[in-house]
């Protein structure tokens, strides 16, 4: 179980690999670039206590969940970095 920390209306605008991950194993994430919806920030309570992860869900129920990582805010952008990927979301006012 995880504790919801915050939620945003957002669009995933970019995903880049962080390390030398084999691109064939990594590239599936790119199909989610452009997804818009509710972006939810969670804190793990059991599997990785205290660590953060994200889930974005679109109106048509497409969704992407990240592994745990770190969060940064840059103006109206949220940047979330995991072991393998850097996700950049534009945040919309709600």
Q: What is the per-residue pLDDT across 24-33, written as a single tens digit (0 to 9) for each?
A: 677 888 899 9
- Structure-token match 């945003």, residue found: 8
Nearest 10 degrees: Cα torsion 26, 79, 93, 38: 40
3-state per-residue secondary structure call for 29-56: HHHHCCCEEEEEEEEECCCCCCCEEEEE
pLDDT at residue 52, as a whole number: 96
CATH number of the domain that residue 30 is part of = 2.30.29.30
Residue numbers of the domain that contains 77: 2-92
pTM for this prediction: 0.90
- pLDDT-based confidence at residue 8 (cuts at 50, 70, 90): very high
Number of domains in the chain: 1
Instruction: Classify residue 44 as exposed, middle or buried by CB count within 10 Å of its CB (0-12, 13-18, 19+).
Output: middle
């Amino acid at each position: 179980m995880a504790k919801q920390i915050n939620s945003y209306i957002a669009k995933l605008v970019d995903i880049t690999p962080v390390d030398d991950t084999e691109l064939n194993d990594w590239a599936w994430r790119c199909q989610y670039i452009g997804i818009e919806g509710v972006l939810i920030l969670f804190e793990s309570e059991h599997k990785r206590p205290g660590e953060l992860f994200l889930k974005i869900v679109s109106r048509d129920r497409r969704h992407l969940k990240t592994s745990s990582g770190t969060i940064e805010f840059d103006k109206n952008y949220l940047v979330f970095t995991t072991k393998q990927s850097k996700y950049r979301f534009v945040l919309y006012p709600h």
